[in-house]
Amino acid sequence: MNENQKIREELLKSVEDLSDRQLNEKVEAGSWTIMQVLDHLYLMEMTISKSIAGELANEKSEAAPLKPIHLTVNRSTKVAAPSFVKPSDDFISLAEMKGKLSESRKTLIRVTEGASEQALEQKSFPHPIFGPLSLKQWTPFVGYHEKRHMAQIEELKGKLS
């Protein structure tokens, strides 16, 4: 989780000097705003946390082999976000988003710290690209996923007016 915290700090630092207007500015048709990227990260972390909690309670959940989740940061393969983690079109302030991201991180920590190492290794749920991922791999996946989107945010920053 320490690596995830470093990535989160880097993510927030990368947007701290932008105005709420810039964060919510659509730079090109069909692309997300920086705020929508942040909202997507919040929605993903909350969804993953809820799924981990659900699988911890699921006696039929099965183990999964280790997957190359580090490849998540490779943006040469485009992945469409599932509908349940598509961001809002609403204007959101950075202060509000920081609160949401703090909430999602606390939820992930609470869910995973309350679980045994064995349960995290022996239970899984599917990822749309990697297939079944152990609950243990889902936590570092959150960090890799944020790193992937940090690169997207940097691209969007370069296109701001």
Q: How many CA atoms lie within 13 A of 58 on its CB side?
A: 16
Helix, strand, coil shares, percent, the chain, to 5: 60, 5, 35
Q: Which residues contact 3 (CB under 8 A, 6 or more apart)?
A: 140, 143
Q: Is a pLDDT exceeding 90 seen at residue 24?
A: yes
Strand residue runs (E) in 82-152: 124-127, 131-134
Enter the tokens of residue 131.
Answer: 């297939």
Region 120-128: what's the mean pLDDT? Answer: 96
In this prediction, residues 111-126 reach a mean pLDDT of 96
Is the predicted pLDDT of residue 1 greater than 70, yes or no? Answer: no
CA 25 to chain centre: 21
Name the residue among 37, 7, 35 with its Cα closest to residue 105: 7
User: 43 pLDDT band (50/70/90 cuts)?
Assistant: very high
Mean per-residue pLDDT, 125-129: 94
Tell me the CA distances in angstroms from 155 to 34, 35, 37, 54, one per residue in order. 10, 13, 12, 36
Domain boundaries, the chain: 2-6+30-158
133: which strand partners? Answer: 125
Determine the longest span between alpha carbons in the chain, in angstroms: 52
Q: Which two tokens stand for residue 36?
A: 């929508």
- For 74-87, write each residue's pLDDT tens digit: 988 888 888 899 99
Architecture per CATH, 2-6+30-158: Up-down Bundle (1.20)
Cα separation of the two ends of the chain:
36
Does the structure show a pLDDT above 70 at 36?
yes
Enter the pTM of the model: 0.95
Residue 140 pLDDT greater than 90, yes or no: yes
- Residue reference for tokens 């152990």: 134
> Three-class SS of residue 125?
strand
Answer for the pair 25, 159: CB distance below 8 angstroms, yes or no.
no
